[in-house]
Structure 1
Amino acid sequence: MAEKLAPEKRHSFLHAGQKVFEWDQTLEEVNIYITLPENVPKKLFYCNVLPNHLEVGIKGNPPYLNHDLAGPVKIDCSFWTLEDGIMHVTLQKREKGKTWPSPILGQGQLDPYSADLEQKRLMLQRFQEENPGFDFSQAQFTGGCPDPRTFMGGIRSE
């Protein structure tokens, strides 16, 4: 059931027409995927996650990413791994359910349509989490979507 409400695709963060990274999110996490250069030894890559900032790079060089995050994270629950030429950074949201328009504050934000779809998907995840045993994967919203963090009402049938 939960896999039906998982991110359907990754969003791309582009700068000057080139992909910097891909990302997706759940109620609790923002995941960043960075394709690594093949000719650099893996032990030279680093990632530093701070409560409101992310730094990624190759030791001895200026950071590849050195930006404030779109929201605060729990650093003790955030981590990074290297696998198959991809750095995967998992950022644990401090505000569960908050929809991030982009991992990087003020850059590469989702267009309004994609942001609305993302918020609706997270709202459905929240419904699913709060009502185990019910299948919300085919549910649809009509009108505006409430904030997934603050929705406290039940679901009504019409």
Structure 2
Amino acid sequence: MSANDDYDKLSPEEREARDKADRAREAAEQAALPYKWTQQLGDVDITVQVPRGTRARDLSVMIQKKKLSVGLKGKEPILSGELCKEIKLDDSTWTLEDQESILIHLEKFNQQQWWENVLTHHPKIDTTKIQPENSKLSDLDGETRAMVEKMMFDNQQKQMGKPTSDELKKMETLKNFQEAHPELDFSKAKIS
């Protein structure tokens, strides 16, 4: 039996408790890494702290399609290894900020996929639990925006045990028909 089968048999309270424990474990594992990282669907941003007063010439940063190595020249790398997914080399960059942190921007090759980790040997995160930052609905074209708003409304309605927009539309149509035809008896009608 896989962990997912086991998860499906849990009550909502047990799922919430397990999710909370998993998030706490993930947070602890990620906090122990020698860097901080965030991601969007299209890119990954990594921040690596270095001693205050560090200059770019003191650094050894190597970014390759599937490898990353960052550190101070002449010392063990702070992080080094195989990237979990391929990147677009020409669109990936690094900069030294305030002589104390290296900001690395990696452009994902596959921009429709969440990364489980930065380097393959580091702890993974559960990508199914990622909640992407809300893009503004105003950024979407009219048709897409209407579809997203309908989906959001229907999802909220279902969570509250209320009818979806399609069900509301059917109920409204039926109500209007009943009002237009008071002579008809709908008391035994089966409505689905």
TM range, normalised to the smaller chain?
0.5 to 0.7
Higher relative contact order (CA 8 A, sep 6+): 1
Unaligned runs of at least 5 residues, structure 1: 1-10, 143-156
Q: Which runs of 5+ in 2 are unaligned?
A: 1-25, 156-164, 167-192
How far apart in 1 are the matches of 2:65 and 2:115? 15
Name the structure where strand makes up a greater proportion of residues.
1
String of CA shifts for 1:3-23, please: whole Å, max 9, x gaps. xxxxxxxx96858x7441111
Higher helix share: 2
Q: Distance in 1 between matches of 2:103 and 2:154?
A: 32
> Are the aligned partners of 2:55 and 2:96 in contact in 1 as well (CA < 8 Å)?
no
Q: How many residues align?
A: 128
Cα–Cα, structure 1 residues 13 and 141, in superposed 2: closer, same or farther, change >3 Å? farther
RMSD over aligned Cα, in angstroms?
3.7
Identical amino acids, percent of aligned pairs = 21
Question: Over residues 32-81 of structure 1, what are the superposed CA-to-partner deviations in whole Å (9 max), with x where a residue is unaligned?
Answer: 11111225444201311100000111112222211100100011110001
Alignment CA distance shift 1:107-1:36 (3 Å): same
1:116 partnered with 2:128? yes
The residue matched to 1:30 in structure 2 has which SS? strand
TM (norm. structure 2) is 0.54
The normalised TM-score by structure 1 is 0.64
Aligned pair partner of 2:111 in 96, 120, 140? 96
